[in-house]
Structure 1
Amino acid sequence: IADQLRNVLITGCSSGIGLALAVKMAKDEQKRFKVFATMRNLAKKEPLEEAAGHRLGKTLEIKQLDVCDEQSIKTCVNSIPDRRIDVLVSNAGMGLIGPIECQSIEEMKTVMDTNFFGLVRLLKEILPDMKRRKSGHIVIISSVMGIQGILFNDVYAASKFAVEGFCESLAIQALKFKLQLSLIEPGPVVTEFERKVFEDGMKMDLSAADKETAEMFTNIYLKNYKQIFQSLGQSAEDVAEHTVKIILAENPPFRHQTNTLYTPMTTLKYADPNGDLPIDIFYKMVFQHDKIFSASLNFIKLLRWRSRKSFDLGKPSQ
């Protein structure tokens, strides 16, 4: 049995997508996975333990891993039998919204250190083993913001762009070693992660920004934030379901957007080589068409309601 089980290491499992994915894979009916669910702070493991239920200690083990600490990564990987990781899911991340005038360089560095260098550290430790075995699947929870930047998400988008460029380059080498590399790109996801980002945005000190920028952030961005999440937002479980399908796919795609409602936004980027089209459309959506913006969100809600089960990769879902 041990030979058939695929060892899966997932980072950032204390909540959100990481937690949902760890539990979903641990509860796989065909028992195909042994999940090593990791988190930076083990004091936050209760929700995961609860959700895992009787799979805890069987198909799911909880381990400490901080993607910003090389030693912590090494210790965790060394504790896995033969250091064998068949599937690595790089999910740990942090968000940051607001005007850059109000953010310290230190905060920005922390976002880059977690979202980008966190992935790099994991791969430096895990990639050589995968290459040697000529087998392995690296799954990165990226974001549509790794393709298309969004207002007041400058640094977060930059960190995800870094991840995407890094993976695009690495994918060519991975192919030579028969390794799979997949970027999962959710749009807005309703999780603890997003709630915290929003709350931090709400209590941000905007005194360093000019009046117009501060008002733009408060009255346009934060005001529409909730509305966008209610219309476009996916659940963490939904993203987890997509991710499992990608992991089980015979030939997993390099990029997979989990939210079909968001795809037209990212397609704009490829539609115009000058790059002006998406910027222009986002500008108009944000600043000129308040009524149209609300109407399109309502229309999207309707579409979403009608196409709940439109996503499919291979076998139809029950």
Structure 2
Amino acid sequence: MAQKTVLITGCSSGIGLAIASKLANDDKKRFMVYATMRNLDKRRDLVDTAGSSLGKTLEIKQLDVCCEKSIRDCISSIPNRKVDILVSNAGMGMIGPIECQSLEEMKNVMDTNFFGLVRLLKEILPDMKKRKKGHIVVISSVMGIQGILFNDIYAASKFAVEGFCESLAIQAIKFKLNITLIEPGPVITEFEKKVYEEGLKVDLSAADQETRDMFTNIYLRNYKDIFVSLGQSADDVAEHTKKIITSDNPPFRHQTNTLYTPMTTLKYADPNGDLPIDTFYKMVFHHDKVFHASLNFIKLLRWRSKKSFNLGKTNNKE
């Protein structure tokens, strides 16, 4: 397997950092990784994690997915502007009642999570089409399949990503390109911690009392319990990502958390769409004891579960 050029966005922390480090430290040196971030002042964690791969199989570059010039300059700095694998990971979160969020804040989420991907592909896709070779890997979310309470705008941005990629995938087949949507559930990272901390600061004065209580006493109160029970590590998601890109036949969609899969399966079990909404409503508002008992059961399953997973054959018998 010839060494492949990998461009990864959002590598200052979390999933992006973990993927960059894992690929750069590949024993077989199959990847030349260009790890990018909007603010290079935040590179320290990646530098520490990369270790001896820095300057060899890993280079750190500036790239802001919200700026076309930044993307163009970064791609132009890569030899022959050739990207074999794009890992689109940069993202922005938001939680809270929509009455308490400005349209500007909502637009920022859509601009980063959705149009950021579009900008990247406008710059990278033409060369992939010309060469009829390339793999576009998008770090999406289970919230691109199933909306979650008080994640309205974030879920909307991920739904947009999923629809965009599903449409593009049809064209990609003609050019022999692969597109993969990687869909984690809760992941324990600085990203999620920041989203939670920002949620605590939301000015709820524009919302009615019932909505304020719902957000504070139900959603925020259970936020940490859900992550403890269902949350994966960034390194776990990175391992899934590596398996995907070394697979001979990578899937279009891949959920990284089997403990969360039953929840997203509800979406496909009822063509009317009522089943998942009704189920989540009852879990949240009518079955508090059952909800927490379920979380405790999931903790037990996680303790007993194996970390390995199988995606079929992989290159070089990875």
Shorter-chain TM band: over 0.9
d(CA) in 2 for partners of 1:212, 1:25: 47
Distance 2:144 2:247 in 1: 23
* Alignment: residue pair count: 316
Secondary structure of the structure 1 residue equivalent to 2:18: helix
Distance 2:38 2:308 in 1: 35
Partner of 1:263: 261
For 1:45, the equivalent position in structure 2 comes to 43
In the alignment, which residue of structure 2 is the partner of 1:114? 112
Q: Retained in 1: the 8 A contact 2:243–2:311?
A: yes
In 2: Cα distance, 1:238 partner to 1:281 partner: 28
What is the TM-score with the length of structure 2 in the denominator? Answer: 0.98
Matches for 1:276-315 after TM superposition, within 5 Å: 276-314=274-312
Structure 1 position 253, deviation (Å): 0.3
Please state how far the C-alpha of 1:310 moved relative to its aligned partner. Answer: 4.4
For structure 1, which segment, 307-316 or 122-131, has the greater mean C-alpha deviation from structure 2 after superposition? 307-316
- Matches for 1:148-187 after TM superposition, within 5 Å: 148-187=146-185
Q: Deviations over 1:164-193 (max 9, x none)?
A: 000000000000000000000000000000
Structure 1: distance between partners of 2:257 and 2:311: 14
Amino acid at match of 1:77: I
Cα deviation 1:244-291 (Å, max 9, x = unaligned): 000000000000000000101111111000000000000011011111
Distance 2:312 2:143 in 1: 27
Q: State the match for 1:97 in structure 2.
A: 95
CA RMSD of aligned residues (A): 1.3
Cα distance in 2 between the residues matched to 1:53 and 1:165? 38
1:210 to 208, 211, 217: 208
Compute the displacement of 1:218 (Å): 0.3
Q: CA deviation at 1:203?
A: 1.2
**Matched AA of 1:136:** G
Partner Cα separation in structure 1 for residue 42 and residue 312 of structure 2: 36
Unaligned stretches of 5+ residues in structure 1: none
Whichever residue aligns with residue 117 of structure 1, its letter is F
Aligned partner letter, 1:43? D
Distance 1:233 1:134 in 2: 37
* Distance of 2:3 and 2:78 partners within structure 1: 13
What per-residue deviation string (whole Å, max 9, x for no partner) do you get for residues 56-110 of structure 1? 0000000000000000000000000001100000000000000000000000000
Which sections of structure 2, spanning at least 5 residues, go unmatched?
A: none
Task: Classify 1:292/1:310 alpha carbon distance in 2 versus 1 (closer, same or farther; 3 Å).
Answer: farther
When the two structures are superposed, what TM-score results if normalisation uses the length of structure 1?
Answer: 0.98
